[in-house]
Amino acid sequence: MFRRKRLDTRVGTLRKQYGDDFASEFRSDARLDTVLRQTGTDSLSQLLKRKGESRMARKVFFSFHYDNDCWRTQQVRNIGMIEGSKPVSSNDWEQVKKGGDSAIERWIKDQLSGRSCTVVLVGSETANRKWVRHEIVESWNEKKGVVGIRIHNLKDSNGFQSVSGPNPFDRITLGNGDRKLSSLVKLYSFNTSTSTAIYDLIKENIADWIDEAIEIRDNN
């Protein structure tokens, strides 16, 4: 279902995901297959275990509709497979908004700093949110990976599920506007509507989805 890291991936690309000290004895233009051969390891995962390097080094920004999906987003944060952007309280967000659009844009730019990928957690109304669209565009323009995950069937704080919303990447175009971002950026959906099963699928796969998103952006 998901691609393994290509053997011709450069060390410099991998450092964006695993930290600047990944394979520090190699040049940034060295290929993964060269690193594996010279270190006597069979795979990237084996190399990470041997070096004590972890996927926890991967830093992401979560983009979502606060009013509808904050509780659902917190469930994804709690998975612990990645280091997400610091949660913002409703009071903090209200303070940011008081500064107007320019203040919000600066805040988003600061939040994206040091992140390798933006994970868009898609609920029923996410695609309609102005600042979610801005976060997606800013992330893509800053050469960060972008990936979407549908979370509407995760239960909220009251135990309720929601309904599927539009694909936010369908509403953003590339270049001269003749190609949708959704032609490159993936939005993951699920064949089950059970909240616990969806949580387990996200937990099992989110690290691979992020890796793939970063690789897609590096190649496009």
**pLDDT of the chain, 220 residues: tens digit per residue:** 344 567 888 988 888 777 777 888 888 899 998 888 888 888 887 777 666 544 444 789 999 999 999 999 999 988 876 777 777 777 888 899 899 999 999 999 999 998 999 999 999 999 999 999 999 999 999 999 999 999 999 999 999 999 999 999 999 999 888 899 999 999 999 999 999 999 999 988 998 899 899 989 989 9
DSSP string for residues in 49-109: HHHT--GGG-EEEEE--HHHHHHHHHHHHTT-SSEEPPP--HHHHHHHHHTHHHHHHHHHH
Q: How many domains does the chain have?
A: 2
Dihedral over alpha carbons 214, 181, 89, 110 (to 10 degrees): 60
Backbone angles phi, psi at 31, to 5 degrees: -90, 155
Contact residues for 47 (Cβ-Cβ < 8 A; gap 6+): 23, 35, 36, 39, 41, 53
What spatial distance separates the first Cα and last Cα of the chain, rounded to whole Å? 21
Asked if 116 and 16 sit in the same domain, the reply is: no
71 and 149 co-located in one domain: yes
The answer to whether residues 31 and 80 belong to one domain is: no
Which tokens hold the place of 75? 């469930």
Same domain, 99 and 49: no
Residue 100 and residue 122 share a domain = yes
Take residue 50 and report the two structure tokens written for it.
């041997």
